[in-house]
């Protein structure tokens, strides 16, 4: 079973595991409150959609600064 997106790639994009967790949770919270997804992920889970957005470069994680 493969995990998509790969966690190692997500960590590279975020810079650290801590930043990845914080930014994924922040974006998932926005999605649960009605924000529109920026990706065509087939999942209905907000955390998975947020992770896909980070992996695809639609969300940038920059040392605690969050940009869409």
Q: Supply the pTM of this predicted model.
A: 0.84
Instruction: Find tokens 């801590």 and name the residue.
Output: 18
CATH 3.30.160.270 fits 7-63, yes or no: no
CA 56 to chain centre: 9
Three-state secondary-structure class, residue 27: helix
Residue of higher predicted confidence among 21 and 64: 21
Instruction: Find tokens 């810079």 and name the residue.
Output: 15
Q: What digits encode the pLDDT tens for the residues 26-47?
A: 999 999 999 999 999 888 999 9
Confidence of residue 68 (pLDDT cuts 50, 70, 90): low
Q: What digits encode the pLDDT tens for the residues 1-29?
A: 457 889 999 999 888 999 999 999 999 99
Name the phi and psi angles at 56, rounded to 5: -80, -5
Confidence check: pLDDT of 53 > 90: yes
């Amino acid at each position: 079973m493969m995990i998509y997106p790969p966690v190692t790639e997500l960590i590279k994009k975020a810079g650290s595991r801590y930043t990845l967790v914080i930014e994924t949770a922040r974006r998932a919270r926005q999605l649960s409150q009605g924000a529109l997804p920026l990706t065509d992920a087939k999942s209905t889970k907000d955390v998975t959609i947020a992770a896909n957005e980070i992996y695809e470069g639609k969300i940038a994680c920059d040392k605690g600064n969050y940009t869409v």
